[in-house]
Amino acid sequence: MQPRDVDESFLALPLSALAEAALTRAVDLGCEHADLRVERIRTQSLNLRDARLESLADGEDLGLAVRVVHEGTWGFAAGVVLTAAEAVRLAEQAVAVAQVSAALVTDRVELAPEPPHEGAWVSSYDVDPFEVPDADKTALLTEWSERLLAADGVEHVTSGCMHVKEQKFYADTSGTRTRQQRVRIAPEFTALTVDRATGAFESMRTIAPPVGRGWEYLTDGRYDWAAELAEIPGLLREKTKAPSVEPGRHDLVVDPSNLWLTIHESVGHATELDRALGYEAAYAGTSFATPDGLGSLRYGSELMHVTGDRTAEHGLSTIGWDDEGVEAQRWDIVRDGVLVGYQVDRNTARMGGMDRSNGCAFADSPRHVPVQRMANVSLQPADDGPDLDGLIGGVERGIYVVGDKSWSIDMQRYNFQFTGQRFYRIEGGRLAGQLRDVAYQATTTDFWGSMRAVGGPSTYRLGGAFNCGKAQPGQVAPVSHGCPAALFEGVTILNTVQEGGR
């Protein structure tokens, strides 16, 4: 069912003519490098409040951009009119922008080389969500929301689904011509309960991750939505009656549904080379994992093996070629607990003394310049590691953390604080009921250094998000993180009610 090539309606755009017009003009104007991107991004958001459709918004963003390196300086211009004349104008404008900037630039732009590529790549999905009638999508979301709303103790249900279909054509002066299409989906259901008398309210959200799949994610049974929706009301009831946590140091078993976000914040962003070199210093921030620590910085315990990839099936950062024409790859970032790699684009690869980019350039729209964005950064399971019961069974007293919720980390990626959808007391190697008001707080290297056990392949799951933010002007990128469940010793637990001074 999966299409072999990009949709005909996109290929019917004058892609080659735009490329020839823009690149020829850029070369004539003396650019040492030029690239052209044409992108069409379809988005659709369905939002339901208490099982009634609140909004259905359908968008399409179509445009083109020319990026040049002119006498060692970047220039960029973007527009929405798909004509050869406009492509020429954008090439000229990009060169003009480079010339204006030149007076203020001291670092010369150099790009790591990449062999030319030609071809098509389509992500792994079965059913294009934009081919499914809106009425069918709304009906399914409504029915599942009603099911939740009808359950005992559930007062409100907030639900929704976002779909994206991204089509890109890329051409550059080295001869690369690629066309790509990928689809992703983010369904979410949250049940809320309100205690009118006390004014207390509490919620529980599905932990099903957003993925690089089509509408079949909701219908083909590979994810057990029925089971998850069925258990949420009971979990929510239990949560409202759960005791408030005793703050202090606790052993944590962290489920992949929570750990993916901790990886994202404390490993993913910290190992972006542009950050480590200071290019995001005023905005997204820098990194404690500076290049002088490559090959020596102890990131975590010896059990820690983290990879970066743009190849995992259904991964949200998975592509064929990146937005600088670099082929998708997979590489090590942390091996045996030591920092061994970064995520780079072609310019930062050069700065980092690397022969080749590992393909992490991404622009979130035709209006934006590509910047280094995150690969699927994943914690590898232990081949012979325990299953979830085995991990929990090894803990005398501790807490099991499921699902992500609140997250925050500092600008150098040291100090973080996370909450979750639910927390369970572990006593004598068994779960002993939920806890409330829990947050965990740590410093990145302390946390990963305290990792005492890594789950086996049976615990490995892909988590992720659509909305990772970086760069100015701000860009959002989708990214997945695979991880097993893992055990961390002596992590600081806060009671969020006490933190609020109550």
Partner 1 sequence: MSRLSAQELVEQALAASTADGCVAYVVESTEANLRWASNSLTTNGAMRSRQVVVVSFVDGGAGMATGTVARTGTPDVAELVAASEQAARDAGPAEDAVPLVSEAPAGAGDWDADPAETSIEVFTEFAPALGEAFGAARSRGDLLFGYAEHSLTTTYVGTSTGLRLRHDQPTGRVELNGKSTDFSRSVWAGVGTRDFRDVSVPDLAADVERKLGWAQRRVDLPAGRYETVLPPSAVSDLMLYAYWTMEARDADEGRNVFARAGGGNRIGDRLAQLPLTLRSDPHAPGLEAAPFQVVSASSGSASVFDNGMATPAVDWIRDGVLTNLVRPRAWALKTTAPAVAAVDNLVLEAPEATASLDDMVGATDRGLLLTTLWYIREVDPQTLLLTGLTRDGVFLVEGGEVTGAVNNFRWNESPVDLLGRISEAGRTERTLPREWNDWFTRAAMPPVRVPDFNMSSVSPAS
- Long-range contacts: 77-82, Cβ < 8 Å, 24+? 78/366, 78/367, 78/368, 80/366, 82/13, 82/14, 82/18, 82/38
Q: d(Cα 229, Cα 145) in Å, to the nearest integer?
A: 9
Looking at the Cβ atoms of 89 and 305, the one nearer to partner 1 is: 89
Classify 364 as helix, strand or coil: coil
440 binds, among partner 1, Zn ion, none (CB under 5 to 8 A by kind): none
Q: Nearest approach, Cβ of 237 to partner 1 (angstroms)?
A: 17
Kindly indicate which of the ranges 96-104, 178-186, 295-303, 304-312 contains the residues binding partner 1, using the contact rule CB under 8 A.
Answer: 96-104
Kindly indicate which of the ranges 16-24, 76-84, 218-226, 306-314 contains the residues binding partner 1, using the contact rule CB under 8 A.
Answer: 76-84
Find the binding residues for Zn ion in span 443-502 (CB under 5 A).
468
Residue with tokens 């806890």: 435
Residue 63 found at the interface with partner 1 (CB under 8 A): yes
441 binds, among partner 1, Zn ion, none (CB under 5 to 8 A by kind): partner 1
Q: d(Cα 196, Cα 180) in Å, to the nearest integer?
A: 52
CB 45 within 8 A of CB 188: no
Find the binding residues for partner 1 in span 170-199 (CB under 8 A).
192, 194, 196-199
Strand order in the sheet with 376-379: 338-339, 330-335, 306-309, 376-379
Residue 45 found at the interface with partner 1 (CB under 8 A): yes
What does the block give as tokens for 150?
A: 């009808």
Q: Nearest approach, Cβ of 131 to Zn ion (angstroms)?
A: 31
Residue 59 found at the interface with partner 1 (CB under 8 A): yes
Q: Site for partner 1 (CB under 8 A): which residue of 209, 210, 214, 285?
A: 285
Residue 105 found at the interface with partner 1 (CB under 8 A): yes
Question: For the chain, percent helix, then strand, then coil, each to nearest 5?
Answer: 25, 40, 35
Residue 61 found at the interface with partner 1 (CB under 8 A): yes
Find the binding residues for partner 1 in span 443-482 (CB under 8 A).
443, 469, 472-474
Radius of gyration of the chain (CA): 24
What does the block give as tokens for 165?
A: 């279909």
Q: d(Cα 245, Cα 73) in Å, to the nearest integer?
A: 55
Find the binding residues for partner 1 in span 392-451 (CB under 8 A).
406-415, 417, 419, 437, 439, 441, 443
Residue 246 found at the interface with partner 1 (CB under 8 A): no
Residue 102 φ then ψ, to 5°: -55, -35
Query: Pattern 341-370, binding to partner 1, x per CB under 8 A?
Result: --------------------------xxx-
Q: d(Cα 305, Cα 450) in Å, to the nearest integer?
A: 14
Q: Nearest approach, Cβ of 323 to Zn ion (angstroms)?
A: 18
Which secondary structure element, helix H or strand E, spans residue 10, and what is its range? helix 8-11
339 binds, among Zn ion, partner 1, none (CB under 5 to 8 A by kind): none
Q: Nearest approach, Cβ of 466 to partner 1 (angstroms)?
A: 16
Q: Nearest approach, Cβ of 487 to Zn ion (angstroms)?
A: 25
Residue 80 found at the interface with partner 1 (CB under 8 A): yes
Find the binding residues for partner 1 in span 127-166 (CB under 8 A).
133-135, 138, 142, 155-156
Closest CA to 67 of 32, 36, 110, 22: 36
Residue numbers at the binding site for Zn ion (CB under 5 A): 468
